[in-house]
Structure 1
């Protein structure tokens, strides 16, 4: 091999190495063994019980179609990293599973009081300390970013949405991530946002009405 050929080969290898080193990793391709707690771009954060509670009076209850909505800056939602698409049959789709992860009232009682202060909700105002991403959808159990004092009656209208989304995930109509992101973004429109509709008493895919819920998951609580 002459000097010209050697120089050209070296230059080509250098260019290839530089290109590979500078190319950003594909966020959709995680390396084997990567922890589910590492969120990819655009996904919900993994639960952290030590996440800070918003300061008093800094959050505001919103509204959509007459239903209360959490402040996205204070309550964006967070997920349980132990619940994955691969293990839904042994977690959220297993009857009674949510009881195993539900935090004790001794903890959530204190958190509710702090959260009510964050939202400026009076102690005499009726409301449920609610998981934005419900436990039956793999929501973080005790992360302040996933809990808020939802004003109104108990049970509330959001419970039915959570149940339907759980049924859809457990029937393989929508993915776990789809359901989690939809309910965190806007629980009022979540059913429609994931491409589902209720017709004739059945929950089915809007794009393919022949695909409907065939089984339900954990209905022991939100």
Structure 2
């Protein structure tokens, strides 16, 4: 009796193996549990700009509240980590934009005259997000139309806080603000201030 039962089980097992091999029985998919960002793995839901690679250096045009991406694609300090940018005083310690460089940036965008406060030489990827002082990361951001450079400062603060809280990766924040910072403007809390992020005009 035991031998007969064993033979039945073997035959049944072989039958199931054959069904699986011919895809006649569905194999249940393994469910993957989503895990929160821990700061150890990069997000893959964003596209990185071609950091530091200008395809145009003159005839640049401001597009509403956005930079000319051909002239200002953005540039970062690739070795900088979230720990670095979350250290108080980091941004001011790396700020280095000379007056001749500012004049060159205004000239590349065809701005010959300007009123006080009309523009700000802005780091596209802000220093507090690991942006560099390279010309490919600098542009004359206007105060108007709104949102202008003051509002972008708020976005920079918001993303900086998100990175330091471990909610997004530094590289994601850098990429998103370089491609289109306006997409975050409507998402930030209304009480976000503009601490430690303004650039020199």
Structure 1-normalised TM-score? Answer: 0.58
Runs of 5+ in structure 1 lacking a partner?
1-41, 204-218
Return 5+ residue gaps in structure 2 as ranges.
1-46
1:220 aligns with 2:170: no
**TM-score, with length taken from structure 2:** 0.63
Q: Corresponding residue for 2:79?
A: 82
The answer as to 2:103 corresponding to 1:110 is no
Q: Corresponding residue for 1:143? A: 134
CA distance in 2, matches of 1:151, 1:164: 20
Equivalent runs, 1:154-169 vs 2, <5 Å: 156-169=150-163
Q: Is the 8 A contact 2:56 2:70 kept in 1?
A: no
Moved over 6 A (4+): none
Determine which structure has the larger strand proportion and give its number.
Answer: 1
Matched, 1:100 2:105: no
Q: Which residue of 2 aligns with 1:182?
A: 176
Alpha-carbon offset, residue 82 of structure 1? 2.4
Partner of 2:48: 43
| Cα RMSD, aligned residues only | 2.9
Number of equivalent positions: 147
- Kept after mapping to 1: 8 A contact 2:123/2:139: yes
Between the two structures, name the one with larger relative contact order (CA 8 Å, sep ≥ 6): 2
Greater Cα radius of gyration, structure 1 or 2: 2
Q: What SS class does the counterpart of residue 182 from structure 2 fall into?
A: coil
Decide whether aligned partners of structure 1 residues 59 and 155 sit closer, same or farther in structure 2, where only a CA change above 3 A counts: closer
3-state DSSP class of the match of 2:85?
A: coil
